[in-house]
A and B are shown apart, each in its own frame.
Chain A
Amino acid sequence: MEGLFIGFTAITWKQLLMMAVGGLLIYLAIKKEYEPALLLPIGFGTILVNIPYSSVLDQVEGGQKITGALSLFFRAGILTEIFPLLIFIAIGAMIDFSPLFRKPLLLLFGAAAQFGIFFTMMAAALFGFGLKEAAAIGIIGSADGPTSIYVASRFARNLLGPISVAAYSYMALVPIIQPPVIKLLTSRRERLIRMDGSQRKISRTTLVLFPILVTVLTGMFAPTAVALIGFLMFGNLVRECGVLKKLSLAAQNELASLVTLLLGITIASTMTADRFLQVSTLFIIGLGLCAFIFDTAGGVIFAKAMNLFLKKKVNPMIGAAGISAFPMSARVIHTMGLKEDPSNYLLMYAVSANVSGQIGSVLAGGLILALVK
């Protein structure tokens, strides 16, 4: 009979607090619709793993180790990096690179808007984190959940929970984070700049060759980035080849949904009270915000700098869309442009920068893996 109440007698206030955190994530997912596909499973998983002696985690009973389902998922899906890589196939299948071909110069914004990653890594180092931990925290600024998880699972497994939660939460908060930073760094005159471009067609050969060539080129220079960029580009090749329509749709829908679900609930296995309730979690949450702010600033300032040399000026707001949060960031810029001038349609250019941000963030993840020893 005593065994029936073991959960009630063994629970700690920290576990109760973590269950409340899980509840909050579920609330944000359902009520505010903040990245529900991820925050809901993470929230529910957080409740699961904070129940005393929960069977979803590995337990020792009578000297015998009993494997928990989420612990098993963690070892099989995260430590082997399979879940994030599968998500990359799905993301690749969702990306249309053709807007980028119409305005290729916007590719550079995908590099500039990764500045927050590196700035935050330096800030985390100043706060006393080790280099690998600092890099894993900085990568929140990739604004790309799978990349954050991929790098954190290599460099700072102990911080995987807070890093994932911060990455996905801030991605959902892009419409709140970016506009004030952009307004601070641009004048109204700059925000009114119109951009011209064509709507010409891009050949299928070009769209098929691009993911292959990017993979080979990246791989030759940075072999550590091959898994990240390769799976992303493989997904894109499946989309563009034109002969795998069913697979492409399956990758965009079923694969994306299923792996996201598993990824979310598996990440939650790291959200135990003893791991999550640390001062470092607060630092990570703060530094994650800093990463998104400096990403935005990096993109806008780079666009302003480019305008010094360009005859046809670029609307500097487009620079902020160089982050990977797709298509949220592009929409934010488009809406801001319309607010300044209801006839200034920036969506196409913002989408181009946003797509380049997706390449940039994955590349940044690969470079961090290569450069941080």
Chain B
Amino acid sequence: MSETVMRIFKQALAVTGKGMLALFAFMLLFFILLVLVDRIFPGKESEQ
């Protein structure tokens, strides 16, 4: 395998690590947001 391919692969590996981590971090944030907003403004049976 050529050096260029290995270099690009390592870059892709780094993007994968950061990307997956960031994705989970965002989803966790959204999870907290979702729970908080839902608690502050709970739904009533008459709504929707």
Contacts and interface: CB of A to CB of B under 8 A. Distances in A.
A367 interface: yes
B48 A135 contact: no
A279 interface: no
Interface residues on B, range: 20 to 34
Interface in B6-34: 8-9, 11-13, 15-16, 18-20, 22-24, 26-31, 33-34
Contacts of B3: none
Interface stretch (A42-50, A98-106, A268-276): A98-106
Given A104-B35, A204-B48, A217-B33, A122 B23 contact: no
Interface in A90-149: 98, 100-101, 104-105, 107-108, 110-112, 114-115, 117-119, 121-122, 124-126, 128-131, 134-135
Chain B interface, >50% SS class? helix
A135 B20 CA distance: 14
Which of B23, B24, B41, B43 counts the most chain A CB atoms within 10 A?
A: B23
Contact of A121 (B12, B24, B30, B48): B12
B31 A105 contact: yes
A81 to B, nearest CB: 21
Given A125-B5, A131-B11, A100 B34 contact: yes
A200 B18 contact: no
Chain A interface, >50% SS class? helix
A162 to B, nearest CB: 19
A101 B34 contact: yes
B30 A126 contact: no
Interface residues on A, range: 35 or more
B19 A367 contact: yes
Contact of A205 (B27, B41, B45): B41
Contacts of A201: 43-45, 47-48
A118 B43 contact: no
Contacts of A209: 37, 41
A104 B31 contact: yes
B18 to A, nearest CB: 6
A111 B18 CA distance: 13
Contact of B34 (A204, A210, A363): A210
A262 interface: no
A206 interface: yes
Contacts of A204: 47-48
A218 interface: yes
B17 to A, nearest CB: 9
B2 to A, nearest CB: 8
B15 A118 contact: yes
Interface string A356-373: 100110011001100110
A173 B39 CA distance: 39
A206 B44 CA distance: 12
Contacts of B35: 104
Contact of A360 (B18, B27, B33): B27
A122 B42 contact: no
B36 to A, nearest CB: 9
Given A118-B20, A119-B16, A356 B27 contact: yes
Contacts of A372: 15
Contact of B37 (A107, A110, A114, A206): A206
30 contacts: A104-B34, A104-B35, A107-B34, A108-B24, A108-B31, A110-B27, A111-B27, A112-B24, A118-B15, A119-B16, A122-B16, A124-B12, A130-B8, A134-B8, A135-B15, A201-B44, A206-B38, A206-B41, A206-B43, A209-B37, A210-B37, A214-B33, A217-B26, A217-B30, A217-B33, A222-B22, A360-B27, A363-B26, A367-B23, A372-B15
Interface of B: 1, 5, 8-9, 11-13, 15-16, 18-20, 22-24, 26-31, 33-35, 37-38, 41-45, 47-48
Closest 4 CB pairs of A and B: A201-B43, A118-B16, A205-B41, A111-B23
Given A118-B16, A203-B47, 15 more contacts: A104-B35, A107-B30, A107-B31, A108-B24, A111-B26, A114-B20, A114-B23, A119-B16, A125-B9, A131-B11, A201-B44, A209-B37, A221-B26, A359-B30, A371-B19
